[in-house]
């Protein structure tokens, strides 16, 4: 798989010719709705076996081979050139396919109301082949320890058809918000815990869940050890029932990090108790905050590197957003929230506004500005093939267990093609 960034004057036919592919293949891979009107700065995935490398100034066959984890002899043989050939800038080298390391992949799905929308049903059907787990968000805990289930629709059957394990997400959500009071009850009241764990095991067993995932957020800081003890109790009960247990962790960079979302999440304890964890490494740029990349690479790396001091790499799923935001400027604290948009919507909006997409090399994320018909200035940050590849490279570099997406339902076709190209997706027996 190749990533091509559209340059001024590029046409789809010229891009296809560059990579020995077809315009139809490019349209299908990127789900292009306006193939004759590409956006400058738009990242396309090119569905080819292996990839092409265009020689840059100062590069040699040896340095290129090192970058792609191969040998200069193999590159010379594959490209039918002498091993000592001086490479001209712009010369096209073919890079053979590399071995794909195994990865565990998860995606949350969040159905609302009484039924599962057709959009979410379609997203599950389309994307569960790329997933180890499909995480049903969420089973909400009542104050007596009983559970309120989300609508399930055909999601369980879709997961089974694609050999995708089911994750049962248990939260302390009340009226759409994480409740500190409810969280305190869950982790401190023994009778509630007994009822809750009985309810979880009965529900998980009846519906074929493999993993129970605790996403308890906004807990009182003084409940840190109570939460740890609850997880120890839950782990024992769930293991006896043949169930795995995982947790979601706020993105911390130290054990002493202060703040209502962080202090009760003990990385070392979760790493010891849980079978695996999800690091929620997103929402630096969020709907009520100033314009920023949603998951900037330096900040994501800092969280992961801290986590690795508290737990092994093979217990960590890197959290990854499947969306971006459109902020109306100037940003005002407490003002209207930014609009959540899919990567596909972000590209369409750039085309409609006739603006080029830029890319920030520090955060490793695409962005652009535009002015709407009412004269309001906007700033948009989202994800594209380049930003997601940067996260895949981080997973490989640090040998993490895998990735966890929040959340299905917003179109990002390049992600799934690159996921399959970079990794072999684990499927549980």
Classify residue 314 by burial, with Cβ atoms within 10 Å: 0-12, 13-18, 19+. exposed
Q: What is the β-pairing status of strands 102-109 and 133-141?
A: parallel
Which is nearest to 12 in space by CA: 43, 40, 36? 36
Question: What span, in angstroms and rounded, lies between the C-alpha atoms of 257 and 373?
Answer: 43
Question: b vs e for 177-201, b when ≥16 Cβ sit within 10 Å of the residue's Cβ?
Answer: ebbbebbbbbbbbeebbebbbebbb
Quick check: 252 and 305 in contact, CB under 8 A? no
Question: What span, in angstroms and rounded, lies between the C-alpha atoms of 406 and 322?
Answer: 6
Q: Which of 121, 174, 217, 339 is an active site residue?
A: 217
Question: Does residue 379 have an active-site annotation?
Answer: no
Active site residues: 217
């Amino acid at each position: 798989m190749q990533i091509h960034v559209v340059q001024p004057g590029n046409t789809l036919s010229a891009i296809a010719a560059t990579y020995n592919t077809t315009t139809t293949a490019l349209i299908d891979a990127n789900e292009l709705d306006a193939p004759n009107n590409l956006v400058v700065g738009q990242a396309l995935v090119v569905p080819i076996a292996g990839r092409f490398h265009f020689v840059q100034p100062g590069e040699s066959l040896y340095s290129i081979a090192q970058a792609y984890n191969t040998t200069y002899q193999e590159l010379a043989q594959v490209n039918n050139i002498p091993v000592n050939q001086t490479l001209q800038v712009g010369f096209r080298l073919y890079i053979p396919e590399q071995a794909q390391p195994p990865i565990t992949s998860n995606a949350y799905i969040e159905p609302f109301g009484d039924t599962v929308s057709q959009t979410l049903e379609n997203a599950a059907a389309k994307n569960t082949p790329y997933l180890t787990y499909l995480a049903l968000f969420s089973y909400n805990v009542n104050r007596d320890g009983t559970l309120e289930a989300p609508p399930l629709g055909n999601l369980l059957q879709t997961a089974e058809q694609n050999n995708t394990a089911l994750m049962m997400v248990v939260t302390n959500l009340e009226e759409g918000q994480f409740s500190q009071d409810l969280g305190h009850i869950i982790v401190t009241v023994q009778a509630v815990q007994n009822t809750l764990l009985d309810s979880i095991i009965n529900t998980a067993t009846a519906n074929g869940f493999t993993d129970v995932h605790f996403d308890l957020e906004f807990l009182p800081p003084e409940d840190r050890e109570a939460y740890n003890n609850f997880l120890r109790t839950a782990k024992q009960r769930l293991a006896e029932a043949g169930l795995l247990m995982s947790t979601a962790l706020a993105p911390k960079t130290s054990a002493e990090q202060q703040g209502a979302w962080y202090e009760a999440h003990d990385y070392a304890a979760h790493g010891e108790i849980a079978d695996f964890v999800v690091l929620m490494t997103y929402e630096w740029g969020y709907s009520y905050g100033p314009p920023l990349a949603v998951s900037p690479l330096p900040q994501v790396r800092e969280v992961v590197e801290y986590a690795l001091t508290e737990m092994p790499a093979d217990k960590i799923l890197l959290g990854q957003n499947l969306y971006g935001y459109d902020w109306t400027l100037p940003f005002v604290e407490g003002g209207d929230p930014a609009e959540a948009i899919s990567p596909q919507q972000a590209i369409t909006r750039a085309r409609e506004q006739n603006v080029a997409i830029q890319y920030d090399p520090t955060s490793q994320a695409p962005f652009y500005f535009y002015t709407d018909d009412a004269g309001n200035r906007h700033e948009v940050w989202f994800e594209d093939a380049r930003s997601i590849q940067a996260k895949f490279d981080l997973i490989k570099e640090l040998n993490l267990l895998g990735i966890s997406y929040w959340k299905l339902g917003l179109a990002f076709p390049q992600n799934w093609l690159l996921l399959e190209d970079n990794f072999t997706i684990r499927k549980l027996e």
